[in-house]
Amino acid sequence: MFLSQITRKSFLLICFFFLLWYIINSFYYEQEELLLSDKNEGTLTEIHPTSPPTSSSNTSLTTIIDNNNNKNPLEELNKKFCGRPTCKFLFAYSIMEQETKANMHFRSFSQLAEQLNRIMILTNVGFSKIDTCNKFPFDFYYNTDLLQKEFPNIIFKSENDFIFWLKERDQIKMTLNNNNNKNIIPPLSILHTSIQSHKNDTNYYNAEINFDKNKCISKFEPLMNLEDPNNSRVNYTKMFVKSADLRRGRVKFSKLLTEVLTIDEEILLVNGRVLYPLFPEIMPVIPYNDYILNEAQRLKDKLSSSYIGIHWRLESSIPELLPECVQGLIKTLNKVIKEEGIENIYLATDYPLLSSRSQSSSFKEVTKYHHDAIRTLNETFKINTWVSLGGLKQLRKNKQYNIEMNGSGIQGILDKLVCINSNYFISGPKGCARVSSFTKSIADKRNDRIKNNDHSLLNVINRWQL
């Protein structure tokens, strides 16, 4: 029993000393952590901005500026976003043509961006336009990976990427300028210019403030405000281009264009209203998004082994002539069916297919002559369209694409691709149909394929007779 009591006393003593040791050490480490905390108070960790390819206009900003180093934070942002200390953009924010010509003009402006060593903004698309007023990103229509391969020396950024850069720059500006009570980061430097076809001689000159201001530019406010001198220093110019200079003198004109637009401004805002390419080399058509290509292939497969493609743009036709026009088309179709043995027919048209409105924003008046002509055609043959074949079904189910589906947007590209792939292609004569660049682009592509020995195509284009 005595030994047992000793053992218990020893155990209690050991516990007492261990508890005392623990209290002393805890106090010491707590004081040490407080000291370290005091030393580190006010030290900021720099988190570098990134530019995610799908950054949106409401991107949350997490950049924390470290003012204790000697680096210029704006230069650091530009290096990460643009690969160089100064970002210089070319933003062709409005191209006043429908998709076929807009596609060509965007390639011209990309060539200009390459000559000027500027980042090219991928302008939004929609309703058969390349225009910042539209809400869909550039890759809704186009394959940006293949575009990059066509222009390997250009950095391309989306509109959302551009907004991200504006936000980051604005945050740096507010932080540094407010802390130092002086303008370390200056306002945005911008040249706003318009390039327009004109009947007179080519001329480049200073323009009045806020000329031709596109209302959709306001969507970049307050980050880019052309009317606030504290936000943006803006110069305005215009270039009138004689059409003959673009038809026959593009080498000389492109040198002039590059020379006058070699400027120091960060942002070159351009709206374009020209008829012809700006550079002598005409780049290949911007490739379309894989989703549209796959849809075109699916419709082709639905049409079986062979089909006749028709492009009938009723806009600008003479309504009273349409009864005669449709009979001429029927006669031509019967002839092709008999001689070539092709029975399937695909119709690409601006006639209303999903609503009472035409598929083209510029085709306003659909008359009884138009309705009667299409009715007669449908009563004579089984006519297939992108709607009857279930084209773009997933987009049509989504309400955000309603306006696009009822206009001349993505389905116009689909029609173009299906007609390019048709075994036989026909279009209307003057008076019955509008002779358009859309039809020409189909014929040009078919001509290239026939030259490359594509024996599935039986003709380039035929126009039916009245």
pLDDT in tens, 389-445: 999 999 999 999 988 998 888 999 999 999 999 999 999 999 999 888 899 999 999
User: What do you get for the CA distance between the two ends of the chain, in Å?
Assistant: 128
What residues contact residue 278 under an 8 Å CB cut-off, 6+ apart?
A: 105, 108, 109, 111, 112, 195, 246, 250, 253, 254, 257
Report the C-alpha gap between 205 and 116 in whole angstroms.
19
Instruction: Give the number of other Cβ atoms within 10 Å of residue 243's Cβ.
Output: 14
Report the C-alpha gap between 386 and 405 in whole angstroms.
11
pLDDT number for residue 30:
40
Give the residues across from 308 on adjacent strands: 345, 424
Tell me what the mean pLDDT of segment 245-270 comes to: 95
* Percent of the chain surpassing pLDDT 90: 69
Q: Which amino acid, 90?
A: L
Q: Which amino acid, 341?
A: G
Task: Using the structure block, give the residue that is written with the tokens 């001329």.
Answer: 203
Q: In terms of pLDDT, which residue wins out, 425 or 181?
A: 425
pLDDT number for residue 266:
98
Report the C-alpha gap between 333 and 424 in whole angstroms.
10
Q: Where are the alpha helices (DSSP H) in 181-249?
A: 243-248
pLDDT at residue 242 tops 80 = yes
Query: In degrees, to the nearest 5, what angle opens at C-alpha 457 toward C-alphas 452 and 462?
Result: 115
Kindly state the tokens that stand for 187. 């306002």
Kindly state the tokens that stand for 464. 């039916």
Peptide bond into 429 cis (omega under 30): no
Q: In terms of pLDDT, which residue wins out, 364 or 81?
A: 81
pLDDT at residue 118 tops 50 = yes
> How far does CA 406 lie from the centroid of its chain?
20
**305 pLDDT tier (thresholds 50, 70, 90):** confident
Segment 26-76, tens digit of pLDDT: 433 343 333 333 333 322 222 222 222 333 333 333 343 444 456 889 999
pLDDT number for residue 365:
87
Tell me what the mean pLDDT of segment 316-323 comes to: 94
Inter-CA distances, 37 with 26, 33, 40, 160, 395, Å: 16, 6, 5, 40, 56
Segment 451-465, tens digit of pLDDT: 999 999 999 999 999
CATH code of 290-463, in short, is 3.40.50
- Please tell me what DSSP assigns to residue 134: S
> How far does CA 365 lie from the centroid of its chain?
30
Q: Is the pTM of this model over 0.85?
A: no
Query: In degrees, to the nearest 5, what angle opens at C-alpha 324 toward C-alphas 323 and 326?
Result: 70
**198 pLDDT tier (thresholds 50, 70, 90):** confident
Tell me what the mean pLDDT of segment 307-329 comes to: 95
CA-based Rg of the chain, rounded to a whole angstrom?
A: 32
Q: In terms of pLDDT, which residue wins out, 181 or 252?
A: 252
pLDDT number for residue 71:
81
